[in-house]
Structure 1
Amino acid sequence: MPLYIAYGEADALRARCDVAVARTAHPAEGDYEPGSVIPAAPWRCMADTDIRAVTAPRKPLDSTLVEIVRPPFRDGQPLEELTLSMGDPRAVYLGQALAGPDMATTTDNHQDGRLLGLHLDNWDKLPCARRHTARRRLCLNLGPGTRYLVVGAVDAQTVCRTVHPGDRGERHPHTDDYRAYVRQGRPIPLTRIRLDPGDGYLAPTEYLLHDGSTAGHEHPSAAAFWLGRWPRGILPSLV
């Protein structure tokens, strides 16, 4: 299944989102791992065709849906308690990450500090055939700056079947599969979703290529993250 974003008003979605395509980082872009996938400038406003492309069918799988939400965070509230009222008692708080200003992508390899670029998470360690059932990630932008979620429109199952045509669904999708997919000249449309301080998202980060971004903004942004199995609409939508 491709990228689906839950929304109520097309104009509200358009006001928050831009679109571009993915490319492979150049060797001269030494801050990145070799072969990393990153956004190709320029970003442009969403056209009607872009909005139709991310419009979910009538009954989408909640586990594959992106939602732009307002998490119920109050100043002074322990972050570990934020998801207690969201219906998944097994939800896990993953911690925080700080992104510097004006970063095209934000996640680095903790072993050597090089940027990963757009990547695939693997907390649930599911094979290709079951990848669409993984937990979704909740993100809350703690500020002080604005940040983005950058997410790809081609799902991990499609990429894995394309790069490994003999696989029967037993292989575990990996970021390297996406890197090979782009290196072969195959396009991956990207959507960039703006998150102001206090905004958040629910997204299938084990199923879709993604990363954070602070491109074009002069302030850093901290974000907090959780993993859980939450139904669509459990948090108020911003679009």
Structure 2
Amino acid sequence: MNLAIAHTDTAALIKRCEVAGLRLSSGEPEYETGAVLPAGPWQPLTAKLAARLKPTAQTADKTLVELVRLPDGPAPANMAALADPLGDPDAVHLGQASSPAKALTTTPNYQDGRRIGLHVDNWDKLDYQAKHTGRRRLCFNLGPGTRYILLVDLDIRAICRTLYRDPEDRYPHTDDLRTYAACHQPLRCFRLRLDPGEGYIAPTELLPHDGSTEDQSEPSTAAFWLGHWPRGILPTLI
């Protein structure tokens, strides 16, 4: 398992995390053909599995998932400036995205509006050998509804190592995740709850992921940044 979630309170992690398998979309007009989706039903996270999510001494900050809350104090007048005090002067505000209620996954293909399912980002355009060094994404749920971050347990480099004899010259892509899933290789999806004012810092260039508002009756808006941040820069939820 490559997914590592920083936590000191296992009970708090278990309380907000569920697990499911994955499937490929088929004949679903709102999704790209072959999109990787949570299969359900969602199951509670076990203590044994939670222990496997614990970072080790070798887990680099760049590959770590953290669940965080908004900084203390008044919100900045300009939302883009929220990440300014976090230690990366080159951090980039990506903007905001609104998601409807009851969406299994949230990210659309902006060419035709179909959702792409679980995917890896490519803002940094990194090849296989550097994919784990990309910027992490900071996200805050601005509400009004609760939302989730979906994370796959294997990173895209591990997926490429399984699929290809010589992955070193490849540029890992969402298509590699889809190929891996189509080969019926084992994968888990973890769903982590984020209430308004809560968020995550995650290596979305490396880990297949997406947002979700499944089972939620209200829409929500998320704000996003990219940057190189050390672990522990924001208060943890768990």
Shorter-chain TM-score: what band? Answer: over 0.9
Aligned pairs for 1:1-239 within 5 A: 2-27=2-27, 29-72=28-71, 74-75=74-75, 77-167=77-167, 169-239=168-238
CA shift for structure 1 position 75? 4.2
CA shift for structure 1 position 137? 0.1
CA distance, structure 2, for counterparts of residue 182 and residue 60 of structure 1: 25
Structure 1 portions without partners, runs of 5+:
none
CA distance, structure 1, for counterparts of residue 166 and residue 128 of structure 2: 12
Deviates more, 1:189-198 or 1:154-163: 154-163
CA shift for structure 1 position 76? 5.6
CA distance, structure 2, for counterparts of residue 99 and residue 37 of structure 1: 19
CA shift for structure 1 position 25? 1.2
CA distance, structure 2, for counterparts of residue 83 and residue 75 of structure 1: 11
CA distance, structure 2, for counterparts of residue 134 and residue 18 of structure 1: 27
1:170 partner amino acid: D
CA distance, structure 2, for counterparts of residue 41 and residue 5 of structure 1: 21
CA shift for structure 1 position 59? 4.0
- How many pairs were matched up? 237
CA shift for structure 1 position 170? 1.8
CA distance, structure 2, for counterparts of residue 60 and residue 3 of structure 1: 10
Q: Residue 39 of structure 2: SS of its match in structure 1?
A: strand
CA distance, structure 2, for counterparts of residue 181 and residue 122 of structure 1: 18
2:147 partner amino acid: R
| Identical counterparts, % of pairs | 49
8 Å contact from structure 2 (residues 66, 202) kept in 1: yes
CA distance, structure 2, for counterparts of residue 52 and residue 76 of structure 1: 37
CA distance, structure 1, for counterparts of residue 77 and residue 233 of structure 2: 19
8 Å contact from structure 2 (residues 140, 224) kept in 1: yes
CA shift for structure 1 position 77? 2.8
Q: Residue 159 of structure 2: SS of its match in structure 1?
A: helix
CA shift for structure 1 position 227? 0.2
- CA deviations 1:161-184 (Å, max 9, x no partner) are 2222233x1211000000000000
Runs of 4+ deviating beyond 3 Å: 73-76
2:153 partner amino acid: A
CA shift for structure 1 position 160? 1.3
Q: Residue 106 of structure 1: SS of its match in structure 2?
A: coil
- CA deviations 1:69-88 (Å, max 9, x no partner) are 01227446311111111000
8 Å contact from structure 2 (residues 147, 212) kept in 1: yes
8 Å contact from structure 2 (residues 75, 82) kept in 1: no
8 Å contact from structure 2 (residues 76, 82) kept in 1: no
CA shift for structure 1 position 52? 1.6
CA distance, structure 2, for counterparts of residue 212 and residue 18 of structure 1: 14
- CA deviations 1:95-114 (Å, max 9, x no partner) are 00000000010000010000
TM-score by length of 2: 0.97
CA distance, structure 2, for counterparts of residue 22 and residue 149 of structure 1: 15
In structure 2, do the counterparts of structure 1 residues 64 and 76 end up closer, same or farther at CA, with 3 Å as the change threshold?
Answer: closer
Q: Residue 29 of structure 2: SS of its match in structure 1?
A: coil
